[in-house]
Amino acid sequence: MVIKTIFCILFLPFVILAEGRADAPPSPLISPCGSENSKEIPSHIPVPVLYTDRDIYIAGEYLYFSAKLPGPVTPGETGRLAFITLRCSGGNTVKKGIAAIDRGYAWGGIYLDDTLSTGIYRISCFEGTASAGVSPIPAGKEVMVANRFDSDLDEFIKPFGYLQGNERRSHDTEYTSEEPNIRISSDRKRYGTREPVIISLETESHIEYPVWAALSAAREETLLWCLDGIFAGEPDRPEWRENSSTRHQQNTIRGGLQISGVARSNETGAPMPGLGLFLTMAGEVINLYHTTTCSNGTFSFLLNDYHETNQVHISPQNPEMSGISSITLNDMFDAVPLYIPGRDIGTPPSTETIKKSQDIATINKLFGISFHHEKPGPDPWQFRRPLLYSRPANRVFPENFIPLDNLMEIARELVPQWQIRERGGRLVSRLVNSRTGTYFDDAPAIFLDGVHIMRPEEIVHLGSEDIGVIEVHNYPWRYGDAEFSGIISIKSTNEAYRDVTASGPYVIADIPEVIPRSTLMPPAYEEDRKMNDPDFRQTLYWKPEIIFRSREEKKEIRFYSGDLAGTYIVKVEGVTSSGNSFSEYLRIVVE
């Protein structure tokens, strides 16, 4: 009932002031100052966990991850977003993106740019929170990335000098936990190249049984012994675990991506409450969000639609406030705490392993070989974009007329409803009210390529060759809480909004990249036995999501070995019905 009520509120149609037009747009989503705690189905998992297909990578490869996050496990849910970051040892974020969460799971592949430096990195995953000052609970794991052009690897190994002289740990062939809740086995222990491998997973009849897991089969040299590297929080920060489930359920955002910040007075630096703000983005249609700052000057926009651009523009609703206020944005990815590089890693890599991995990556690049595969997944956005209006009263195409030098001439000669005049050293813009036939008292809202424009002076230089079409919407108009004395929408031929918003009072926020659901797709040699490309997979197989629905369940997984001889570790890691993590593995040999 609560969900249905919220749905109805979000989509109540708005009526035009004094006219009641039937084509008025649906309501935009307006972000409130305070968030209301939503009732959710409690999850058994108290903190998120994160797994990767291996631990050592070469720049130019994909890093595959799989994460389980607290919260409801509703199939087909939309609007929940996982924030993914990759940080270097200096603390800078080198990659970031968002991934859709479905049934509490998020997985995908991150491309490691060829320009990444050799070093230790930490991949983190968390779900955003709605209350400022309440940090999300992150899951993190350290990995190593080597640039394939680096030949001197001494600096890379140096941080692990403190491990010299210690006994080097390795994966024990006979390893098994005292009372495993899942058993992993293979049909054989040794395989030839390009031969089928069959892995069996069997859950035990314990009260506590696996419910979710990720499975990898990777070359042993690319795996490292990590100390609590998959868990949320830091080993010396127990507060990350304390009451984490309650905190998460109370503050989790539902419905989309949040952009937040604070507005302050330029003169005094004090917070500015009650300031109306617009958020717009470049595109073919005007997509408008608006909100009002709270008593402490803070604001937030909750974006529920798909964005065709990687940036959004925030500006005061009232142009007169642009020189009085300043807006500072929060970094939505800045909630992950800093870490001490190498602390989680218990085994140093060997230079031989890294050099061999560099050679393999180079061969794959030269042959154009990639096993990366994107799969269709849930839509990360809950709704589609709300239009400011469905159709304008008039459209003008300047190319159909003689060329004019600027917007004042175009308005005077081509747009009879629009007037731009210079008064007191400023340009004054007015529209004729279609109902009364007289000018509105206030200026119309102006949009250039979908972006809100503060003053006519910023675009008056645009001539006929710069403008594709002008849409005139000269009706009294209401959009949520915002009222307009008509609307002018200009679509340029050369993305003119970029020059206009490059300076002045516009605040630009970057929209993070959407990480699609992707995985590694190994060759199927039974279907094509004539495949002649080299098959130097360091990860033979990666399955990011295995769901168990009951005790004593058995699953069989099949894949082919590659051309790279050596020892491989087949590892299954996941979460049990009680929220505990588990890890079981076995060793196979390709020869």
Greater pLDDT, 45 or 571: 571
Spatial separation of the C-alpha atoms in residues 517 and 81, rounded to whole Å = 13
**88 in any annotated domain:** yes
Residue recorded with tokens 């949009």: 447
pLDDT tens sequence across 345-400: 666 678 888 999 999 999 999 989 999 998 876 666 555 566 788 889 999 999 99
Range of the domain at 83: 49-237+337-377+516-590
H helix or E strand, kind and range, residue 143: strand 139-146
**Alpha-carbon distances, residue 213 vs 68, 216, 520, 571, 581 (angstroms):** 9, 10, 16, 10, 9
- Closest CA relative to residue 464, chosen from 415, 404, 414: 404
Distance CA(127)–CA(196), nearest Å, equals: 38
CB-based contacts of 388, cutoff 8 Å, min separation 6: 25, 285, 286, 287, 288, 447, 479, 487
206 vs 408, higher pLDDT: 408
Q: Tell me whether residue 243 is exposed, middle or buried, using C-beta atoms within 10 angstroms of its C-beta: 0 to 12, 13 to 18, 19 or more.
A: exposed
Closest among 173, 150, 505 to 326, alpha carbons compared: 505
In a domain, 248, yes or no: no
Q: Does position 314 have pLDDT exceeding 90, yes or no?
A: yes
When comparing pLDDT for 462 and 27, which is higher? 462
The three-point CA angle 182-55-84 to 5° equals 90
Q: What's the pLDDT tens digit per position in 522-533?
A: 888 887 666 788
In a domain, 394, yes or no: no
Q: What is the mean pLDDT of residues 316-337?
A: 83
Kind of pairing between the strands at 289-292 and 276-280: antiparallel
Cα–Cα distance, 292 to 300 (Å, whole number): 9
SS (H, E, C) 408-442: HHHHHHHCCCEEEEEECCEEEEEEECCCCCCECCC
Domain presence at residue 135: yes
Report whether pLDDT(4) > 80.
Answer: no
**Does 539 reside within a domain?**
yes
**Which pTM was predicted?**
0.80
Average pLDDT of 144-148?
92
Q: Sign of torsion, CA 370 376 382 383? A: positive
In a domain, 13, yes or no: no
Amino acid found at 34? G
pLDDT on residue 564: 94
pLDDT over 90, % of the chain: 44
How much of the chain exceeds pLDDT 70, in percent?
73
In a domain? residue 488: no
Give the whole-angstrom CA distance, residue 470 versus residue 491.
6
Q: Average pLDDT in the 306-313 region? A: 73
What is the mean pLDDT of the segment spanning 22-36? 42
d(CA 210, CA 415): 68
Specify if 26 maps to a domain: no
Mean pLDDT, residues 135-161 taken together: 77
How many domains would you assign to the chain?
Answer: 1
